[in-house]
Chains A and B, each alone.
Chain A
Amino acid sequence: MKPLYFPRYIIITLICGIIGIAIVVQMIRINYSDTAQDLLAKSSDYQGVEELVYPARGNIYDRSGNILATNQVAYELGIDLKFVNDPESIAFAVASLFEDLEYDEVYELANIETDEDENRYFVLASYVSEEKIIELEQLEETYQERRSEAHSLIPSLEGLVWTSMQQRTYPEDSLAANVLGFYNYFSRETAQGVYGVEEAYNSLLTGKPEKIFMANDPYLVEALPDINPGASLILTIDREIQAMVEETLAEAIEWSGAEGGTIIVSDPETGEILAMAGTPVFDPNEYWEYEETFPSPTPYNKAIGTTYEPGSVFKVITMAAALDSGVADLDTTYTDATGVYWVDGSWPIYNWDSGAWGEQDMTGCMQHSLNVCLAYIACDLLEEDLFYEYIQAFGFGRSTGIDLAGEANFPLRLPEDNEWVSLDLATNSFGQGIAVTPIQMVAAVSAIANEGKIMMPHIVRSVVDQDQQYNITPQLINSPISAETAETLTQMLTVTLQEESSNALVDGYSLAGKTGTAEIPTEYGYTSTTTNTSFVGWGPSDDPKFVVYVWLEEPAISTWGSEVAAPVFQDVVEQLVVLMKIPPDEIRLELSSGPGS
């Protein structure tokens, strides 16, 4: 017998079943509807975003650990329209703090109507300073007080957002700017180092950007992976020497009326560049003014980027070749009877004063800087093969390989080239008709100051990457001359400086060096009204610790290197010996011969 209420049970069961089935059908329908797909897409947005995270760019230090380039915090200022409820206050605040942002412009952006589910963000300014952000925060606090007093929703800066970002900064401003280069950071995606160390070591300094999922959903949050910052660099540059050299160069240019110039100080034993100054002066913190400061074709760093005819400083190289090859020694003489040397009987070579200096030994040829004597050595003693073999061994005609971006090189004109004429051999011997960069000259002369060995000129001393320091080992490029030749030539050039009572001499220190006065080639031939003056010297003569090269472009007060560049060299060395803690020869030799030495 069936229970009394059986039909009712059946009806209730059927109704519940139908409702259940309807719910399941509805659930399936919703899951596969377009709205559901939209919702799913939005929910994945809310779960988090994948961001490309850029590591902090590495610092650059001088050899003592002083920071030359680092990063500071700047902010990106923007409007998130979803949260804006008072466009007037936002426009007023922004326009009053930022000169280049107009009230109307900001108001228009802040007042754009958006759908509820639309997410719109506008960047108002990049690389905003922390001071400005603090001012905005203070303003927002004031507005908050006013809102709570008036029980109102306005005034409010809600919707005005700022996020931190890294900005490259050079705390020493223009100091060593020609060595450092700059970092054009405005566009983060295309930012890169330009010139100098910033460009040469860009990939090391930048590090490796990584894509990271930044979860908003707390269930998906994980500790973010450590992103290694870019490697830091320790330079060979000494900040104090660099500052002194830059100041001396600026004074020298003002005093001499020169168009520009460069001074390089290097350690011949290692090839380390201790200082490298040049014109024009540039502040990499305002790198966007680069084109104004360096109108084309001005090189960013004259010390490595400009080629010029070196003049008489090049006689050091010719003499080194002559002494090392054995075609001449200290007692070899040359009789300058007429003051003219004829090349192939067609082209005359004159001395700087057009005078005849009679019989001269090799020391005399260098002391009086006789063009005819050096032309004789190159053409009659060395001859073309040997001369150019030595020139190339000294590194002329190819880049030095210094670790800076923008090194220039002027190809050497060799006898096998069609353009070469025999006059070139004579003029090259005293530094005309050949183009070199200041750094090539320093590298070549370093061989004479370093027992005949040329070390690779370099700027970076160590690389610090992932908490480990890698010290760079100095590299030998070539040994163009023997240690004996180097010593003989150093002694010769020490004597010549002392005997001519050169303006380059420094009390208490024995120095070797040579002046240079070069005529400037133009499309109409050489001009004698303006010259480039230079001086290269090293010391102390018995144990050289530095090579200093001074080059001044078209000085106005005199056309002679001995009158313009030599005093600048003296000025640099007087301060350099103090900064490098090199005592006068007498004290140094006394200390080195002491009981503890």
Chain B
Amino acid sequence: MKNRLFQAYKQAPWRVQLQWIGLFMVCVVLISAITSVYLSINSQAATAGREIQSLEYQISTMNDEISELTADLAEAKSTEKYRAKAESLGFKLLNPANAVYLEVPGYDPDADLVLAPPRVNLISEFPIVQSSYKSSLWDWFVENIWQVSSRSTESQGEVLP
């Protein structure tokens, strides 16, 4: 059998060449595939990078706009501007003798201004580190065995509909 196969290759050497060509083509296809995957990932990474840069720029621009608008608003609401506007609308300073006082239940003129929520206690009532991270391997094993056995006991006692 071996001699017949050898004979066949010897009589038709193009079969060997075909094998080599096939092997070469497989390598080319493999390299092309890897290269295209590499290129694709790189281009996506570059695009994502550019998008991040663009978003960071937008954040920066919007922060600038917020600052500018805050400053504009503060200036528009300044005492001098308010007074000028009130006078242009015909308002006059109150004469204390003409003041009328009303009792408004629940109104506290000296209430604290709240610009942000008050400080909260950062110590959680639940443990941050789970017990499984603090127990020894033996403790963990026993605990899990216990849980599994208790679950199976519970399921045995269940009344199915």
In the complex the two chains form, what is the Cα distance from A365 to B53 in whole Å? Answer: 77
In the complex with contacts A70-B70, A583-B101, A591-B103, A471-B52 CB distance below 8 A: no
Contacts of A70 in B (CB 8 A): 67, 70-71, 74
Contacts of A232 in B (CB 8 A): 115
Are the C-beta atoms of B52 and A462 separated by less than 8 Å?
Answer: no
* Interface Cβ pair total, 8 Å cutoff: 121
Partner of A73, one of B64, B96, B97: B64
Per-residue CB contact flags for chain B residues 26-52 toward chain A (1 = under 8 Å, else 0) read 000000000000000010011111101
In the complex with contacts A56-B63, A67-B70, A72-B71, A218-B109 CB distance below 8 A: no
Chain A residues in contact with chain B, CB under 8 A? 56, 59, 61, 63-67, 70-73, 130, 164, 166, 169, 171-173, 175, 215, 217-224, 232, 234, 239-240, 243, 461-462, 464, 467-471, 507-508, 574-575, 577-578, 580-581, 583, 587, 591, 594, 596
Are the C-beta atoms of B115 and A61 separated by less than 8 Å?
Answer: yes
Closest B-chain residue to A581, C-beta based?
Answer: B109
Are the C-beta atoms of B49 and A221 separated by less than 8 Å?
Answer: yes
Chain B residues in contact with chain A, CB under 8 A? 42, 45-50, 52-53, 55-56, 60, 63-65, 67-68, 70-71, 73-75, 77-80, 94, 96-97, 99, 101, 103, 105, 109, 112-120
Are the C-beta atoms of A469 and B101 separated by less than 8 Å?
Answer: no
Are the C-beta atoms of B112 and A462 separated by less than 8 Å?
Answer: yes
Knowing that A70-B67, A470-B119 touch, tell me 13 more A-B residue pairs with CB under 8 angstroms.
Answer: A56-B67, A59-B70, A71-B71, A166-B67, A173-B78, A215-B53, A221-B48, A467-B116, A469-B119, A471-B112, A507-B96, A575-B96, A578-B99
In the complex the two chains form, what is the Cα distance from A575 to B42 in whole Å? Answer: 71
In the complex the two chains form, what is the Cα distance from A241 to B12 in whole Å? Answer: 109
In the complex the two chains form, what is the Cα distance from A171 to B71 in whole Å? Answer: 7
Q: Which 10 A-B pairs have the closest CB atoms?
A: A218-B49, A72-B71, A67-B74, A221-B49, A171-B74, A583-B101, A171-B75, A469-B116, A218-B46, A73-B64
Contacts of B78 in A (CB 8 A): 171-173, 175
Partner of B103, one of A574, A578, A594: A594
Are the C-beta atoms of B74 and A468 separated by less than 8 Å?
Answer: no
A231 to chain B, nearest CB (A): 10
Partner of A66, one of B77, B101, B119: B77
B119 to chain A, nearest CB (A): 5
In the complex with contacts A239-B79, A462-B113, A223-B52 CB distance below 8 A: yes
Are the C-beta atoms of A467 and B101 separated by less than 8 Å?
Answer: no
Are the C-beta atoms of A468 and B120 separated by less than 8 Å?
Answer: yes
Closest B-chain residue to A66, C-beta based?
Answer: B77
Partner of B45, one of A71, A219, A470, A580: A219
In the complex the two chains form, what is the Cα distance from A175 to B50 in whole Å? Answer: 46
In the complex the two chains form, what is the Cα distance from A297 to B47 in whole Å? Answer: 62
Most interface-central of B56, B63, B74, B119 (chain A CB within 10 A): B74
Contacts of A507 in B (CB 8 A): 96-97
In the complex with contacts A65-B113, A219-B46, A240-B79 CB distance below 8 A: yes
